[in-house]
Structure 1
Amino acid sequence: MTEEQPRQTEAENATLTREPEACSSEVEELQKAYDDLNDRFLRLAADFDNYQRRMARELETRTTFAIESFAVELLDVLDNFERATAADDASLREGLEQIKKLFTAILQRHEITPIECCNRPFDPRAHEAVAYVPADATEGTVIDEVIRGYCMKDKVIRCSKVVVSRGKEE
């Protein structure tokens, strides 16, 4: 052998001199391993699809039950409104006050709170200006609440519709 010819290792020599039967058995083993892995992959993909469908059904069920529970609580308020409208004028005001308290308690249980806005700076994330009028208050201050806004936990679910001061006109 000359220095310029590459030397073959024993492993390379063994590979080159293998018999065809040995190569075909290796191919069969590799094919079997491939088929096993492919089967595992397909089963895992099917399991994941089933999981996604199951989670979607569970989410829908939870949402439905949450809405149902909230609706049942609101039906108590409706019942009280019906009783109040059937009452005489003297007890009507008192009945309406009780309904308001009940309704407020239901909202608080669900962590729904009103947005305080009067005499505070206008905040476009929580307020929607319906008017911009001259007033004694400094410019940009909310001077009246037309429709109350609400937050659920820390998220605004309805903006307050407010009147904002333009400041004093001279």
Structure 2
Amino acid sequence: MEDNRMEETVDTLETEAVETEAPGVEDTRTREELLAEVARLGAEADDYKTRYLRAQADFDNFRRRSRQEKEEFAAYANTKIIEELLPVLDTFEMAMKSADNSDAKTLLTGIDMVYRQLQTALSNYGLSAIESVGQPFDPNVHEGVMQVESADHPAGTVVMEMRKGYKLKEKTIRPAMVQVSQ
């Protein structure tokens, strides 16, 4: 059956060669040469198809591996920060346990230690507080919730911070809730 297809292809090539020949130019290839040409082109097409299928399979494997790596990274991305926060948790637990046997000043000292450890751990990852009071109001880092009359501050200046705002590196992750002078 394959031989029949090759012969049909050769017949088609011969017919096309005769129809498309320029005047005065003859195709001098023999039937065997044309069959060999068809066989060569068929093998070349099979080779290209095989290469295409392999490339497609490689790409599918790459896409699957990339997705798995991304999912694994997302699942364990917080490991380092959690490891740094565990000592803060330990100190907090110690302060809570000592609350039963100590006075308020000792408990306050323990809570202060926890607060400082937590601030240090978070600042190691680029978290910083937004300084607001006395600064000009900036809607990119401040959330104005009230306007108040103030003789001490020019109009548009933050006079009171109601909730601290934070930046992670240069990106505002929570704007400071503030009162602004009129």
* TM-score (normalizing by structure 1): 0.80
Residue equivalent to 1:78: 89
| Mapped pair 1:58 → 2:73 | no
CA–CA distance in structure 2, aligned partners of residues 47 and 99 of structure 1: 51
1: CA distance between counterparts of 2:39 and 2:155? 83
Residue of structure 2 equivalent to 1:114: 129
1:104 and 2:122 aligned:
no
AA aligned to 1:49 is: D
- Alignment size in residue pairs: 156
Indicate which of 144, 161, 170 corresponds to 2:177.
161
The match for 1:26 is 37
Instruction: Report runs of 4+ in structure 1 exceeding 3 Å deviation.
Output: none
Indicate the SS of the match to 1:132.
Answer: strand
After superposition, the C-alpha distances for 1:17-73 in whole angstroms (9 at most, x for unaligned) are 322332232122122212212221221122122112212222222233231232232
The one-letter code matched in structure 2 to 1:140 is G
C-alpha separation between the residues in 1 aligned to 2:63 and 2:147? 50
Cα shift at 1:112? 1.2
Out of 163, 175, 179, the position equivalent to 1:147 is: 163
Structure 1 residue runs of 5 or longer lacking an equivalent are 1-5
What residue is the counterpart of 2:15 in the other structure? none
Cα distance, 1:84 vs structure 2: 1.8
Per the alignment, do residues 79 and 37 of structure 1 end up closer, same or farther by CA in structure 2, a change over 3 Å counting? same
Q: Are 1:135 and 2:145 an aligned pair?
A: no
CA RMSD after TM alignment: 2.0
Q: Which runs of 5+ in 2 are unaligned?
A: 1-21
1:3 corresponds in structure 2 to none
Deviation at 1:85, TM superposition (A): 2.5
TM-score, normalisation: structure 2? 0.76
Query: Aligned to 1:72, what secondary structure does the other structure show?
Result: helix
Letter in 2 for 1:134: E
